[in-house]
Structure 1
Amino acid sequence: MNHRPPSPSNTEVGPPRLTRSCAGVIGALVILLSLAGWSGASVGATRAWLVSGEYDSRSANPRSEATTLWVADIVRSVSTGASLQTLLADPTPMPTDRSSPRLVESAAPLQPLARVYGEQAFNAVPARRLRVSATAVGARADMVSAVLDKEFAALRPGDRGLFFYAGTGQADPGDAAGNTLRLWDNSALSVREMDALSSHAPVTAPMRFVLTQCHSGGFQRLIHPSARNQRNLGRHNRCVFTSEPIDHLRRSCPDLPADIESDADLDYASQFFSALAGRTRAGTPLRRSPDLDGDHTVTLHEAHLHAIIEGDGSDLPRSSTETYLERWQPVWLRYLDTVSEPDNEYGRVAQALAERLHLPLRGRALVDALETRQRELTSRLQRLADESQRVGADVDRLQTTLRRALTQRWPAAAHPHTAGYVRFLANDLGAAQRFLLGQTATYPRLVARQERQAQIVQDRLALDRSLTQLDKLMRMRQLARLRVQFDRYANDQARQELERLTRCESTPL
């Protein structure tokens, strides 16, 4: 943080040079004022880059686009005069919203044929259209990089940057700095590339990143020099909010529902920006004030904590201050205290979570209740996994029986992408659909088994979300103890670096 202003050249005319100590004090004061949003004669502006990322048309989910456009509305309403750039995977004026399929058991929408071949999830009703600002541009990696390269460099020292991403991510199991944002045309932007682009911003300009994709935790590396795995901070004034921890590796990204209204307020992005807006995504008032310190201003840090308390999704959010504390903790301190319940910010968040989950607020009663509920949920999850295998086997058997009967009458139905299949669709489709509906001994059972299969998926997701709430509560209790250890044992450099991250997270939107 001790960045000294450049010395004037020998040909520069001006007042006598200050002494080294005086210049250092003034330089530090300038940096502190810059971090608070001061840029000389005027207060700096907010500049935001909001990206919806999908890698191809088959993966494109209108939920990501809708979230990005909703966040743009929030930024405009909260930060008057903010400069926004919206980058969407589909840059057309009205990108498609493919809503969840309406499964109708009749021949008209091809539903029986789709069920027999396991394609019922793609049998959607006609799409809606989303209206998009004319300023939107495509979200291919080269397009995003070109925009950020130019606009990061155009920031003034007192400006505040905000980068938001909604979409999918990809992990590099060997190095978290290789994790990527997946973008249009199967392109990608890695942590290292984002580090290089954002290095063009002024050192003192607060750069805030809110990343909500799976494998987002790797982008916490942006606070370190060249995104390396080390403890100290880099030169630039950055902070990062992610929906997952840096070491949380999923085998694949979970499928988000295509229906924009489905579970709209559960996820991290919705809760985070609802806190800034003062209302839910559906427009209703928040049930709990996100203004934790009562100063009538909700910072990004408070929005993050609000999302931890109120979020009911499967996200495990992290902020840069939290990852810094966890990275700082020496091994010998990890087992020094595992039971105390400090009354600090994280301890109060833990209590708020316990209250929302209808658990005891403190002490041994809370620990026992956590362990009991975790065992119950894990046991129910295992029972659902076992049932899912049995139901899946039933579905496979029924589909095989129905396909065999179908192709005995219409052999071309077994060979899609052929001329014979085209003739089958043109001449015999109606009869084939009616034939399947008439298989009363098998088709209704297939429908029932597939519906149960879909319900099991939803029930398992709900249990996973419930277990995540317990994980968040236990982690907040651990962070409360970790903060006490930091305050007691951290050296001056670590304290200064944590304070710098705290200021970044607490700058106005």
Structure 2
Amino acid sequence: MTRRLISIALVCAGLASQASARDYFVLLGGGAGPASSEVSIEKNVEWISGLLDSRGHEGHDVLFAAGLQDPTRDVKTNRVDPELAGLWLPIARVYGNRARLFEAFHKNTVARSADAATRENALDLLQQRLTAMQAGDNLMLVYNGHGGGSDEDPSQHHLRLWDNTRLTVGDLVQTLEHQPPQTVFRFVLPQCYSGPFLRTIHQQLSIGESGPVNTARCGFTAAPHHRKSEGCTEVEDEREYVDYSTYFFAALDGQSRLGQALSREPDTNGDGRVGLNEAHIYAATESYSRDVPGATSEYFLQQWQPWYVRGQTWSYPESSGDGHHARMVRTVAARLGFPADLDHVMLVREVSDRRIALEAQINGLEAEVRSLRQRELDLRGELARAGTSRWPELRNPYGVNFNGLEPENIGEISAWLESRPLYSELESVQNEIDAGNETILGMERDLGMHLRILRWLELSRLEYFLYRFGSRADISSYESLQDCESWTGLGE
């Protein structure tokens, strides 16, 4: 009887512990300064913060740009005024920066952003939450902003935080040394060059690390170490947003950020809840962007492969087409128009051929744009010299005399510039540059989709070989990371 009472007490204690478990969320956002703190970042952080509120996580933390106490106008936007465009555009074409003609700044409106999103504040906040955590608790870090990299040392890839500070992979791993036992840390990092943050599952960050991993850490990134990701735009129209966060958190919310129905049901296992892994799969298959998303379990597979698997590059066993990576391949391959009956080897070849062709086209277009930019500089120089000989005030746009020019003077200058023989050529060259950059972006997005297919084919192959040749410890680590990634604490 006594043993039974003890057992019941232990079970009740366990249930009480689980019931009291807390979920902590830290949202970081903004740029290194106002010029890189675009309005889309602000909108993403506000949207995700609202989603957390709707899930009962009103106590989540937010650090955004300069914070709310600092009066700095820390968000950049772009609001075109058609009337002023006609007046100022010729001057901007010759003397200024067309892309920044209607650049404007405002103070951020992120309600919970008490402090600036600096490296020091971010690390202090993470340390505070880690210190407060008890067994069963979860901590999730979500970032929206810019990233930077290092070709020599992946541990130096970083979040570009406010006041030109950096939070590196190494900083995060060092901070996580204080993670209490039986707690879980997760992250969503969609910035450019974010892939090396998947290395946080390692206690040591030596390049090529393939030792034991900490499966109480997991997360998702939007791009490999060498690629840019989508997002961070001064455009206010959210219909144009195709970044990883837009799709990832829409899957968790059950609707798009505009309140519209999703393109498909993200709950792939049918349990009625959307896990983080399912949100990742939704973002990776439903977005059309230059992103090549990654997850910690995928990174584990790539690091695990022994030499005898690494050498079987073209080996795609039949059963390797049964997992979720293979299903992702089929979804996107069909979207790109590849025949459904292609086996893995043929699909690799065809996708690789398209990839090579796209990269060659991108390189060719980039060379053309560079040539056009040189011609643009020459034309601007000639027109600028002619203009300043007539209106010397144009030599110093920050001077009192320039600011004293009346609107009719601006109109006169613009009309005169437009009448110059070289102006029409300048306008044509700049329009060609814009069109070329737009085409390059479209091709970069095409390339991103093809790179995803190649990545998933490789992961499908590696997963097959892991279950065939991997040790029990390796398989256990892989499955534990997948369990960590499948957390449903946010999905409905």
Shorter-chain TM-score: which interval?
A: 0.7 to 0.9
Q: Which moves more between the two structures, 445-454 or 463-472?
A: 445-454
Query: Structure 2 residue aligned with 1:470, among 434, 444, 450?
Result: 450
- Correspondence list, 1:405-424, <5 A: 405-417=386-398, 421-424=399-402
Are the structure 2 counterparts of residues 491 and 469 from structure 1 closer, same or farther at C-alpha, using a change threshold of 3 Å? Answer: same
Other-structure match for 1:173? 151
Structure 1 residue 450, shift from structure 2 partner: 1.7
Secondary structure of 1:185's match? helix
- Correspondence list, 1:231-270, <5 A: 231-235=210-214, 237-245=216-224, 248-249=225-226, 256-261=232-237, 264-270=240-246
Residue 303 of structure 2 aligns to which amino acid in structure 1? R
Other-structure match for 1:22? none
Contact 2:24 2:140 (C-alpha < 8 Å) held by counterparts: yes
Other-structure match for 2:47? 70
Which ranges of structure 2 fall in alignment gaps of 5 or more residues? 4-9
Per-residue CA distance 1:13-46 (angstroms, 9 max, x = gap): xx99xxxxxxxxxx9x99xx99xxx672525232
Other-structure match for 2:274? 298
Residue 60 of structure 1 aligns to which amino acid in structure 2? S
Query: Structure 1 residue aligned with 2:374, among 393, 396, 403?
Result: 393
Structure 1 residue 109, shift from structure 2 partner: 5.7
- State the alpha-carbon separation in 1 of the partners of residues 138 and 246 from structure 2: 22
Structure 1 residue 240, shift from structure 2 partner: 2.0
Structure 1 residue 375, shift from structure 2 partner: 5.0
Structure 1 residue 132, shift from structure 2 partner: 2.3
Other-structure match for 2:19? 42
Contact 1:91 1:137 (C-alpha < 8 Å) held by counterparts: yes
Query: Structure 2 residue aligned with 1:288, among 251, 258, 264?
Result: 264
Which ranges of structure 1 fall in alignment gaps of 5 or more residues? 1-14, 17-26
Contact 1:351 1:361 (C-alpha < 8 Å) held by counterparts: yes
Secondary structure of 1:51's match? strand
TM-score (norm 2): 0.87
Query: Structure 2 residue aligned with 1:225, among 203, 206, 225?
Result: 203
Other-structure match for 2:6? none
Query: Structure 2 residue aligned with 1:360, among 339, 342, 349?
Result: 339
Contact 2:40 2:231 (C-alpha < 8 Å) held by counterparts: no
Structure 1 residue 383, shift from structure 2 partner: 4.3
Residue 257 of structure 1 aligns to which amino acid in structure 2? T
Secondary structure of 1:442's match? helix
Contact 1:104 1:111 (C-alpha < 8 Å) held by counterparts: no
- State the alpha-carbon separation in 1 of the partners of residues 152 and 363 from structure 2: 30
Kindly report the root-mean-square deviation, in angstroms, between the aligned alpha carbons of the 2 structures: 3.0
- State the alpha-carbon separation in 1 of the partners of residues 25 and 334 from structure 2: 35
Other-structure match for 2:126? 148
Contact 1:223 1:240 (C-alpha < 8 Å) held by counterparts: no
- State the alpha-carbon separation in 2 of the partners of residues 382 and 139 from structure 1: 37
Contact 1:107 1:433 (C-alpha < 8 Å) held by counterparts: no
- State the alpha-carbon separation in 1 of the partners of residues 424 and 232 from structure 2: 28
- Correspondence list, 1:86-105, <5 A: 86-92=62-68, 97-102=75-80, 104=82
Q: Which moves more between the two structures, 208-217 or 405-414?
A: 405-414
- State the alpha-carbon separation in 2 of the partners of residues 332 and 41 from structure 1: 44
- Correspondence list, 1:192-203, <5 A: 192-203=170-181
Are the structure 2 counterparts of residues 149 and 39 from structure 1 closer, same or farther at C-alpha, using a change threshold of 3 Å? Answer: farther
Other-structure match for 2:327? 348
Runs (4+) of structure 1 moved beyond 6 Å?
252-255
- State the alpha-carbon separation in 1 of the partners of residues 18 and 347 from structure 2: 53
Are the structure 2 counterparts of residues 237 and 367 from structure 1 closer, same or farther at C-alpha, using a change threshold of 3 Å? Answer: closer
Query: Structure 1 residue aligned with 2:283, among 297, 307, 314?
Result: 307
Secondary structure of 1:99's match? strand
Other-structure match for 1:493? 473
Structure 1 residue 82, shift from structure 2 partner: 5.7
| Bigger share in helix | 2
Structure 1 residue 269, shift from structure 2 partner: 1.4
Contact 2:383 2:422 (C-alpha < 8 Å) held by counterparts: yes
Structure 1 residue 256, shift from structure 2 partner: 3.5
Secondary structure of 1:188's match? strand
Is residue 163 from structure 1 mapped to residue 153 from structure 2 by the alignment?
Answer: no
Secondary structure of 1:110's match? helix
- State the alpha-carbon separation in 1 of the partners of residues 175 and 117 from structure 2: 16
Secondary structure of 2:25's match? strand
Residue 194 of structure 1 aligns to which amino acid in structure 2? L
Are the structure 2 counterparts of residues 388 and 182 from structure 1 closer, same or farther at C-alpha, using a change threshold of 3 Å? Answer: same
Contact 1:402 1:436 (C-alpha < 8 Å) held by counterparts: no
Structure 1 residue 106, shift from structure 2 partner: 5.4
Query: Structure 1 residue aligned with 2:31, among 54, 68, 71?
Result: 54
Identity %: 27
Is residue 482 from structure 1 mapped to residue 462 from structure 2 by the alignment?
Answer: yes
Per-residue CA distance 1:75-98 (angstroms, 9 max, x = gap): 233x33463101101312796653
Per-residue CA distance 1:172-212 (angstroms, 9 max, x = gap): 32221122211111112122221222333322212101111
Are the structure 2 counterparts of residues 233 and 166 from structure 1 closer, same or farther at C-alpha, using a change threshold of 3 Å? Answer: farther
Contact 2:64 2:113 (C-alpha < 8 Å) held by counterparts: no
Contact 1:265 1:281 (C-alpha < 8 Å) held by counterparts: no
Contact 1:217 1:243 (C-alpha < 8 Å) held by counterparts: yes
Contact 2:41 2:232 (C-alpha < 8 Å) held by counterparts: no
Contact 1:406 1:432 (C-alpha < 8 Å) held by counterparts: no
Structure 1 residue 331, shift from structure 2 partner: 2.1
Structure 1 residue 503, shift from structure 2 partner: 1.6
Structure 1 residue 390, shift from structure 2 partner: 3.9
